[in-house]
Amino acid sequence: MRPRLRVTRSVIPNLFTAMNMFSGFLSIVNASQGNFYYAAWLIIVAAIFDALDGAVARLTKSSSELGVELDSLSDIVSFGAAPAFLIYQTSLHSNETLGILVAASLVLAGGFRLARFNVQLVGFDKSYFSGLPIPISAITISSFILSYYEIPEGFITPFSEIVIPLVIILSLIMISKIKYDTIPKPTKEEFRKNPILFLIILFGAAAAIITSGKAIFLIFVLYILFGIFRYIFTLFVKKT
């Protein structure tokens, strides 16, 4: 008798993870062909698959170490290599060697961030992240391009001047120890604990839809700045 192929519950979330990686690869292909808007949206699509694989894993109770490792490999493609190549193609290529180094910082910092997360991971649920999550960095880059990149002109002033500082800051925050809250699970219990946070998320989603995605960049900038200011405030309180 031929051995039967055993399909476990973990296959379902891993399929979403695979779609995450595939979306990242498609983003790189489109960026290489000059389809920069498609490439940016594909990174956001990858982020949606990334969120869904975790939700499905919890729903089916099929979280595993294999899933965690596969997720990290997918993330380095979709949220490290893809946004780095996209920002290089849209802007940093004009800076020659400096542009390559700056763009590469997104991949290097993202890889370090993911490796540190895996080493520190205890269980599969965390209330906060240490350092900016790599998907947030990628979405910030993608939404920046969707909001301020014009074809064929490129980034218009003053946005062309902030590309390098933006990439460097995102890279540094990813490898920092600044705490960022995880997105709460959509349950009644979590809603009772954080009703204001849920309302902020709904308001942000509505703003993104109404503005056809142009508000996404500002929303994530506010999220990043909130983490930085809270970290500074916490240090100040400890010293006093």
**Per-residue pLDDT reduced to its tens digit, 90-112:** 999 999 899 999 999 999 999 99
Cα–Cα distance for residue pair 207/47, rounded to 1 Å: 18
User: Residue 6 domain-assigned?
Assistant: no
User: Residue 192 domain-assigned?
Assistant: no
Exposure of 177 in the CB half-sphere (CA atoms within 13 A): 4
pLDDT on residue 7: 52
pLDDT digits (tens, 9 = 90+) for 108-159: 999 999 888 888 765 544 667 888 999 999 999 999 999 999 888 888 888 8
194 — pLDDT class (breaks 50, 70, 90): low
Of 124 and 89, the one with more pLDDT: 89
Of 167 and 153, the one with more pLDDT: 167
Mean pLDDT is highest, among 6-15, 79-88, 230-239, for 79-88
Cα angle: 173, vertex 52, 80; to 5 degrees? 35
How far, CA to CA in Å, does 197 sit from each of 15, 90, 107, 185, 200? 30, 34, 30, 11, 5
Contact 23, 38 (CB under 8 A): no
Instruction: Please give the tally of structural domains in the chain.
Output: 1
User: Residue 87 domain-assigned?
Assistant: yes
Please report where in the chains the tokens 């001047």 appear, as a residue: 161
User: Residue 212 domain-assigned?
Assistant: no
User: Residue 102 domain-assigned?
Assistant: yes
Q: Which domain holds residue 127?
A: 11-183
User: Residue 134 domain-assigned?
Assistant: yes
User: Residue 199 domain-assigned?
Assistant: no
CATH number of the structural domain spanning residue 98: 1.20.120.1760
User: Residue 46 domain-assigned?
Assistant: yes
Q: Which of 96, 63, 48, 103 is nearest to 80 (CA)?
A: 103
